[in-house]
Amino acid sequence: MNIMEDELKAKAVDGMYAVAFELMNRCRFAKAATVLRAMLVAAPRDERGWVALGVCHEHADQWDVAREVYASGRIFAPESVRLSVALARALRCGQENLDVRERLLEEATQRAIESADTRLVDLVTTERSAA
């Protein structure tokens, strides 16, 4: 792809995310999930799409699907603190693999601290306190 194609693709991905976000705000999670799946075909490394798709499944009480979505996202974005925390949350809510949850939060804590992003540190801290 050339620079112009890359820019157009990035704008299209951002547009799909914006549409999905608005659908989620309107509690139209199934429709948002459809848009997010299309977004992830175009941009599988975009953590926003994986996190949002998992949240759509959480709202449908499909915790097993949410866990799979977050785990799949970690394949494409293995350094994502947000995906690690989301997977930890899904494990906690499903009362499954709590030892894996703890390991995920340890890794996420380390990455958040290394990033020096206080929002990420707060995100991990909040999930840790929810246990």
- In this prediction, residue 1 has a pLDDT band, given cuts at 50, 70 and 90, of low
Whether residue 36 contacts residue 52, with contact meaning beta carbons closer than 8 Å, is answered with: yes
Domains of the chain (ranges plus CATH)? 3-129 (1.25.40.10)
Q: For the residues 81-107, what does the mean pLDDT come to?
A: 91
Residue 63 Rama label (left phi>0; alpha psi -120 to 50; beta)? alpha
Q: What is the pLDDT of residue 12?
A: 95
**pLDDT tens-digit readout, 93-105:** 877 778 899 999 9
Specify the amino acid at residue 115: S
Looking at the predicted structure, is the pLDDT value of residue 85 above 90?
yes
**pLDDT tens-digit readout, 13-51:** 999 999 999 999 999 999 999 999 999 999 999 999 999
Q: What is the pLDDT of residue 14?
A: 97
Tell me the two tokens of residue 16: 């799909």
Higher pLDDT, 54 or 93: 54
Whether residue 85 contacts residue 123, with contact meaning beta carbons closer than 8 Å, is answered with: yes
Looking at the predicted structure, is the pLDDT value of residue 81 above 70?
yes
% of the chain with per-residue pLDDT over 70 = 98
Please report, in angstroms and rounded to a whole number, the separation of the first and last CA atoms in the chain.
45
Q: What is the pLDDT of residue 40?
A: 97
Residue 2 Rama label (left phi>0; alpha psi -120 to 50; beta)? beta
